[in-house]
């Protein structure tokens, strides 16, 4: 097998990898500051690996009229393989408590951004990165706005347990509280706690439920807001 020429392509390779490093680093930093399972290094490594895979698929493809023809199979395998890495960031506890879906999605997107930068599609890589950052930041603000005005939530500070979480959910359902979703969040000091979101209920009803849930074994603190 013939070696790939080094010098003529060094500048192009370095530029594409550097752009990938910058773009995926921005997304990874957002996950890192929120203490997600996959942070800055993971997103950058995924992007760089994908960009290199794309470069390999281009530089090892057949040359027609002096132009390298890309072999699409390598890029396809990257997108397939990244799914297994993304699955590792998803925490699926019992009784429907799921965490890490957004981080898994950003990992997959970083792989695609790396492929785009690796083949020289800089505008697509840049625009996608911008849209991802807008989605992560501004839609998170919108979500906070909706949470504070459209429905309430219950934060459980305790050892994360599917059984305990389901007990609390049963109490809420028995009192005709419509649950929207349940998630696990991580605090600044790495503390993990369960948040149950539900449709609005009267303050008096929330206080009565708070007293009942506070008495459950294993609950350190139950906060309605």
- The ranges assigned to domains in the chain are 7-146, 151-224
> What pLDDT is stored for residue 9 in this prediction?
76
* Rg of the chain taking only CA atoms, in angstroms: 23
pTM of the entire structure? Answer: 0.60
Q: Where are the alpha helices (DSSP H) in 69-202?
A: 72-87, 101-118, 122-149, 162-174
Per-residue pLDDT tens over the stretch 51-85? 998 888 887 766 666 666 677 788 788 878 887 77
Q: Is the pLDDT of residue 187 over 90?
A: no
> What pLDDT is stored for residue 94 in this prediction?
46
> CA 76, 77, 80, 81: dihedral to nearest 10 degrees?
-150
Rounded average pLDDT over 149-156 = 67
Of the candidates 219, 109, 88, 80, which has an alpha carbon nearest to the alpha carbon of residue 156? 219
Q: Where are the alpha helices (DSSP H) in 150-216?
A: 162-174, 203-214
What's the mean pLDDT when you consider all of the chain? 79
Classify domain 151-224 at the CATH superfamily level: ACT domain (3.30.70.260)
């Amino acid at each position: 097998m013939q070696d790939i020429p080094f010098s003529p392509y060094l500048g192009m390779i370095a530029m594409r990898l550097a752009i990938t490093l910058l773009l995926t680093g921005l997304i990874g930093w957002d996950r890192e500051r929120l203490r997600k399972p996959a942070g800055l290094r993971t997103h950058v490594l995924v992007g760089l690996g994908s960009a290199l895979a794309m470069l390999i698929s281009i530089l090892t493809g057949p040359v027609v009229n002096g132009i390298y023809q890309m072999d699409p199979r390598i890029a396809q395998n990257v997108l397939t393989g990244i799914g297994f890495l993304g699955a590792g960031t998803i925490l699926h506890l019992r009784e429907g408590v799921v965490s890490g879906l957004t981080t898994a999605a950003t990992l997959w997107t970083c792989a695609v951004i790396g492929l785009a930068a690796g083949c020289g599609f800089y505008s697509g890589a840049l625009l996608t990165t911008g849209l991802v950052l807008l989605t992560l930041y501004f839609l998170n603000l919108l979500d906070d706005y909706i949470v504070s005005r459209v429905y309430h939530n219950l934060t459980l500070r305790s050892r994360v347990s599917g059984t305990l979480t389901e007990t609390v959910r049963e109490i809420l359902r028995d009192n005709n509280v419509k649950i929207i979703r349940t998630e696990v969040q991580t605090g600044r000091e790495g503390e993990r706690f369960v948040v149950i979101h539900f449709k609005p209920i009267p303050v008096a009803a929330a206080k009565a439920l708070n007293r009942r849930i506070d008495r459950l074994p294993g609950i350190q603190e139950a906060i309605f807001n």
